[in-house]
Structure formats: structure tokens, C-alpha cells
Amino acid sequence: MHGGIWDRVADRLTGICQVHRVDLPGHGASAWPGAFTLDSVVDQLAAQFDRPIAVCGWSLGGQIAMHWAKREPEKIKRLVLVSSTPRFAERDDWPHGMAKEALRQFAAELKKNHTATLRRFLALQVRGSEGERELLAAMRASLFSRGEPDMDALRGGLEILRGADLRRVLPDIKTPALVVAGERDKLTPVAASRYLAAGLPNARLVVIDGAAHAPFLSHADEFAKHVVEFMSEQQHG
């Protein structure tokens, strides 16, 4: 998704902080640079900001945010990690991830019909959420509102989902973090968020009842309330 997905939250943070809604490389208005890895994305993001910032990352964006905080701790003063996980793909020692076969199937389907595949992926993100039907309609309406994403960027993002494993570096990410989970999330279960919050040295977990993988959309007011409280605590603490 492009940065427009954050519009509801940005409206609620007016007057609290300056909000930058990022189009990741190859998405929306951001050009495709020829690579989509955690390092290449962080390189491009870091070049846009010359002072410390707070970073809010959703799902894959959470992994990008954590990688950035690990690489440049002096630049990232706060993290809000939404429906994210240190590892998306299931392994023998990681039962909280998606089945490898499901991720392989998404990769194969992207080549055949990327529009239909993206729409199915959106359905997974809201499955079980309160207001699921309305939420899915809104996400589908905005999916291509800034143009279609670059196919290489989609494949690169999927490769990160399939291979990235941040479990070992969590103790090194000392940035204050708010971990937000949806109680009904089918893609990154609450157990993954609990692991993430426990593994980060300075983090706390918030679980939003009735939300699935996009709590900042389905429960925008509650989500924004937690973010504002977190930002205020860190400013005064």
C-alpha cells in the first residue's frame, strides 16, 4: 500500500506532531530504484530526514522501522510497530508465522494476476475485524488511487516477508517502542506481537479488541489515542 493508507490516523494527529506519509519505493509517487531490501529502503528513507524522528510501521513497515532503528539509533527516537513481527514466515522454531506454502503461492499468483492477488491479500488483512465489509471496501477503493505499484517492488517486499528474521537483533533495538496488535489478526497473530514486545528492551504491548491486521483503520480513534499517549510519555519522561 501507499502512504495514503494513513490518512485517517494523520487527521487525528493534527496538532500533536508533523506527519509524513511515506510511499515505499515502487509504490505511489516513489520511484522504483532497482532494489527492495531492508537496507535499500532504509537508505532511501534516511536520506529524506535530517533530524531525529518517530517512525510508525505497519506489518512489513514495522520490520523496516526496526531495521532502521537498529542501524541508526541516534536518528529514531520512537517506534510504533503495528501488526508487525520479527519474522513473518513460519519455521520449526517459530510457530507464529504464515505457512511457507502460502507465501510461495502469493509469489506465484503475483506473476499471473497481480491485481486479483493484491485484492485477495487485502481480504486477509481485514478478515474477522469489526466492520470487515466496510473496511475492505475502503481499502480496495484506495489500493490503486496513487497508481499501481511496481511489480519488482511487490516481489522485493514479498522476499522480505519470506526471509527476514529480526529475532536475534531485538535486544539491540533500545528505542522506546509501542507494539500495537489486533486481537483478531490472521496474518501476524497476537502471540507474535507479544514476542516482539518482550524481546525489545524498551517496549510495551497494546492489543485492540475487535481489530484484525489493520487496527489503525478499523479502530482509528483508539489507535490514535494510544499513539498520542505514547508520544506524550516519551516527550515528558
Catalytic residue list contains 96: no
Q: Considering 2, 67, 213, 219, which one is annotated as catalytic?
A: 213
Which member of 2, 27, 30, 59 is catalytic? 59
- Listed residue (187, 192, 224) closest to 99, CA to CA: 187
Q: How far is CA 126 from the centre of its chain?
A: 14
**Distance of alpha carbon 11 from alpha carbon 235, whole angstroms:** 21
Cell of 117: 492477488
Q: Cβ(56)–Cβ(30) under 8 Å?
A: no
Catalytic residue among 67, 185, 193, 218: 185
Partnered with residue 54 across adjacent β-strands are 78
Helices (DSSP H) in 30-113: which residue ranges?
Answer: 38-46, 60-71, 100-112
185 is a catalytic site residue: yes
Active-site residues, by number, are 59, 185, 213
